[in-house]
Amino acid sequence: MNNQENPVSKKSPTVSVDTKVELSQEMSLFSITMIGVGAMIGAGIFVLTGLAAGAAGPALILSFLLNGIVTVFTAMVYAELGSTFPSAGGGYVWVRDSLPQPSGFLSGWMDWFAHAVACSLYALGFGAYAYLVINMLNINIPVVSEEFVSKLLGVIIILIFTYINYRGASETGLAGSIVTILKIVILVIFIIAGLISIFKNPTTSLSHFRPFMPEGFTGVLFAMGLTFIAFEGYEIIVQAGEEVKDPKRNIPRAIFTSLLVVVPIYILIAFVGIGGIESLEPTWQFLGKYKELAIVEAARQFFPYGEFVLLIGGLLSTMSALNATIYSSSRVSFSMGRDGSFPKIFARIHPKRRTPFVATFISSILIIAMALALPIHDVASAADIMFLLLFLMVNMAVINLRRTKPLQERGYRMPWFPYIPLLGILTKLFLAIFLFGYSPVAWYTTIIWIVGGVIFYYAYARERYIEKVEEIVKTVHEEKEVVTKEFKAMLPIANPESIKPLIKFAGPIVSYNNGQLTLLNVINIPALLPMGGGRKYIKKSKPIIEKAVSKAEKYDIPLNSIIKISHRTEKAITDTVKNKKIDLLFLGWRGFTRKRDYIFGSVIDPIIANAECDTMVLRVQNNRLGKINKILLPVADIRNTRLSIDMSANIARAFDAKLYLLHIMPPKSTNKSENLKKKIINRLNGVSGIDKENIIIEKSSNIVETILDHSKRYDLLVLNTPSESIFKMFFIGNKIQYIAKNSASAVLLVKKYEGKLKTLLQKFFGTRKIDL
């Protein structure tokens, strides 16, 4: 801190404050890559390998390789657009902003349907695997057919994940990464077991690949179109673009890393699936006969309990893919409701859970309808066609955006432009048309859906859509931020009742240090709701910011204000501290927490541990802070508490108050008070305003009660936050909670930031004593 003792200057006539609205960027490269890999290794590879093998024969390997190449064309497009225009709407937003209408509307309309149909596929795959588990358990279901039971189980799992998404749960984050890693491990085990089977009898295994293309190149193309859905999923990386750290760099890296992981796995699965199994008939026909259960049957031959292991993998994959696609489908329809393309009911957010519950329920109805209406191969083909046409439009969009926004800074710029997107357009169109020969029903379904979309656009959405888009663009251009002083403090605010005491405390300190104050309000939304959906709550946040600004203006300090939308309040605060280079963070605390695993609470604990700045946490009784004339700081070892003494002295000067140090000795201590005072004064060399009269020596066996007794005669009690190891801090934290709850004066917890390395060491090993 700057220890200048300049008096507070007179209030300037006007203070201008503009509020900036920000979306919190919380996702790391690893997290977003795992989301892409998890979405690609969904149910597609488990459910469609058998069907594709029956269509292409051993050339399924070639189909997967060619699909990987075709996917790279559009992945490069997504990498450029995602790093340049990160948006929760992804391809829908790019097409909307670059191609003439109704292209934008139709891309969203098709995107919604594509993810809904994909979800139906995953539900049917789950039903098939679950039915196999029932058979393994020797549970007989009389009267009804296998198809009926499988579809019923699929509908049940759709309803379960609809409810989970309604409540706000999501696969993103650590849990999603763990599930993705488990899926990869299971597939790698399958591949290794298959390779071992091949190497045991290489001559016979290699004969399974002859003839290589029994159905000709037509079969290869059918298999490519059928399995294309297994190669989509990387676009979900872009849908989370607003939430990714350093999106210009990390979005392209995540997309290409996902493909680098997934495509070789797919090719190896095709290789061992055809070469490693034993069958009287050609192995590709054997796999085709087992359809969605083919990979499970292959695993049964490869290793003991292989069938069970792959069933676990299949169930994990279908459930995680189901959750992700319900999430994605509802997100698209929610975004279109917000844009005015769909009725406003799609944009409704649950008042308590803050999830797009109407969009989730309607999407689920569409998913169930498709699962019940079509056979699994037609469902897969319909989803493939929709994704192919959607990606075709995104390839067209990148050409237009390069032309209309040539000076836009691009985190990744694809090579060989415009040949790459042109190849993407041609290959996607060719595969989509070719799929008509495999599933005419899928194409009829697609045409009906697109024609219905065109009718809906001109009959309902056209005028509303255009008005809403113009409104969104206007709002974004009006947001600004003010930056001036070198010393920067920040005060997150949420409770309007606590604003007055917090500003009353923070204002003089910021003014004394000739700094500026950033007021931050975090709109916390559940993981299911896209970041942009939080904008609905900005109107509720602005009065809170305005009240804080009005209270702070009298201290004549430059003010910035930010409204940040985030899935995690604590992460939004610590990221803002780092990004804005904040020197001092003020926090309010109610003095207790209801959660047993935390000292101060689930939000404040990680902020104190991770904020890269000095931190002050204020607790006042009944949201009232009186005049601060006398400050009490309990100290143990002066050498280890010098930093907190410096901070407390700075506070005292800011309020023109007296700082008193309280040192508590054991009752049997032989040290004399006067000698201790002299020793403390010597060790405080350089701290002004403290002499013998400001040092209190007390003998007591009950440190906590002694501190509380002395606090009755002071206006502010200052305590250090626990910086001991994680193994001891809960014991200390309980003492602080007790003091904060029972202190007659206001309580301030202070922590001096000592750098990343020292903070990390303190978390785990403990490097200094605690002042209690």
**Are 420 and 520 in a shared domain?**
no
Total structural domains in the chain?
3
Domain limit, last residue, from 425, 454, 472: 472
Strands 614-619 and 746-751: antiparallel
pLDDT band at residue 470 using 50, 70 and 90 as cut-offs:
very low
| Position 490 pLDDT exceeds 80 | yes
Domain membership of residue 493 as a residue range: 481-588
Q: What pLDDT shows up at residue 465?
A: 60
Domain limit, last residue, from 555, 588, 621: 588
Question: How does pLDDT run across 574-604, given as a tens digit for each residue?
Answer: 888 988 889 999 999 887 776 666 677 778 8
Question: How does pLDDT run across 83-92, given as a tens digit for each residue?
Answer: 887 765 667 7
Question: How does pLDDT run across 717-735, given as a tens digit for each residue?
Answer: 998 765 543 333 444 556 7
Is the pTM higher than 0.75? no
> Residue 521: helix, strand or coil by DSSP?
strand
Query: Does residue 134 fall inside a structural domain?
Result: yes
Query: Does residue 11 fall inside a structural domain?
Result: no
CA 296 – CA 562 distance, rounded (Å): 53
**Are 527 and 622 in a shared domain?**
no
Q: What pLDDT shows up at residue 699?
A: 84
**Are 507 and 637 in a shared domain?**
no
What is the chain's Cα-based Rg?
32
Query: Does residue 14 fall inside a structural domain?
Result: no
Q: What pLDDT shows up at residue 89?
A: 62
Q: Which structure tokens are listed for 39?
A: 């979405």
Question: How does pLDDT run across 228-240, given as a tens digit for each residue?
Answer: 888 887 877 876 6
**Are 570 and 600 in a shared domain?**
no
- Write phi, then psi, for 169 (nearest 5 degrees): -75, 155
| Position 616 pLDDT exceeds 80 | yes
**Are 143 and 277 in a shared domain?**
yes
- Write phi, then psi, for 751 (nearest 5 degrees): -140, 125
DSSP state of 11: P
Q: What pLDDT shows up at residue 603?
A: 84
**Are 162 and 213 in a shared domain?**
yes
Q: What pLDDT shows up at residue 9?
A: 34
DSSP 184-237: HHHHHHHHHHHHHHHHHSHHHHHHTTSSS-TTHHHHHHHHHHHHGGGG--THHH
pLDDT band at residue 172 using 50, 70 and 90 as cut-offs:
very low
For the chain, give the percent of residues with pLDDT over 70.
83
Strands 488-492 and 584-588: parallel
DSSP state of 581: T
Q: What pLDDT shows up at residue 479?
A: 34
Question: How does pLDDT run across 326-385, given as a tens digit for each residue?
Answer: 877 787 788 788 777 888 888 887 777 777 888 889 989 988 988 888 776 777 788 888
Question: How does pLDDT run across 315-328, given as a tens digit for each residue?
Answer: 888 887 787 778 77
**Are 116 and 240 in a shared domain?**
yes
Query: Does residue 614 fall inside a structural domain?
Result: yes
Query: Does residue 4 fall inside a structural domain?
Result: no
**Are 532 and 678 in a shared domain?**
no
Q: Report the pLDDT averaged over residues 132-148.
A: 78
**Are 683 and 576 in a shared domain?**
no
Q: Which amino acid is at 202?
A: P
Q: Terminus-to-terminus CA distance in the chain, angstroms?
A: 24
Query: Does residue 3 fall inside a structural domain?
Result: no
Query: Does residue 5 fall inside a structural domain?
Result: no
CATH number at residue 315: 1.20.1740.10
User: In terms of C-beta distances under 8 Å and separation of at least 24 residues, what long-range contacts does 143-151 make, across chains too?
Assistant: 150/124, 151/124, 151/127, 151/371, 151/372
Q: Which structure tokens are listed for 271?
A: 């290789």
Taken in order 309, 259, 323, 246, the sign of the CA dihedral is positive
Strands 559-566 and 695-699: unpaired
Q: How far is CA 635 from the centre of its chain?
A: 41
Q: What pLDDT shows up at residue 676?
A: 75
Q: What pLDDT shows up at residue 396?
A: 92
| Position 764 pLDDT exceeds 70 | no
Q: Report the pLDDT averaged over residues 199-221.
A: 90
CATH number at residue 557: 3.40.50.620
**Are 431 and 524 in a shared domain?**
no
User: In terms of C-beta distances under 8 Å and separation of at least 24 residues, what long-range contacts does 64-69 make, across chains too?
Assistant: 64/227, 64/263, 64/266, 64/267, 64/270, 65/263, 65/267, 66/220, 66/224, 67/224, 67/227, 67/228, 67/230, 67/231, 68/231, 68/259, 68/263, 68/266, 68/267
Q: What pLDDT shows up at residue 61?
A: 94
Question: How does pLDDT run across 492-522, given as a tens digit for each residue?
Answer: 998 888 899 999 999 999 998 888 999 998 8
**Are 762 and 681 in a shared domain?**
yes
Query: Does residue 197 fall inside a structural domain?
Result: yes
Q: Which amino acid is at 196?
A: I
Average pLDDT, the chain: 80
pLDDT band at residue 191 using 50, 70 and 90 as cut-offs:
very high
Domain limit, last residue, from 425, 453, 472: 472
Taken in order 208, 214, 218, 223, the sign of the CA dihedral is negative
**Are 714 and 664 in a shared domain?**
yes
- Indicate the helix (H) or strand (E) that contains 750: strand 746-751
- DSSP bridge pairs for 562: 20, 520
Q: What pLDDT shows up at residue 685?
A: 66
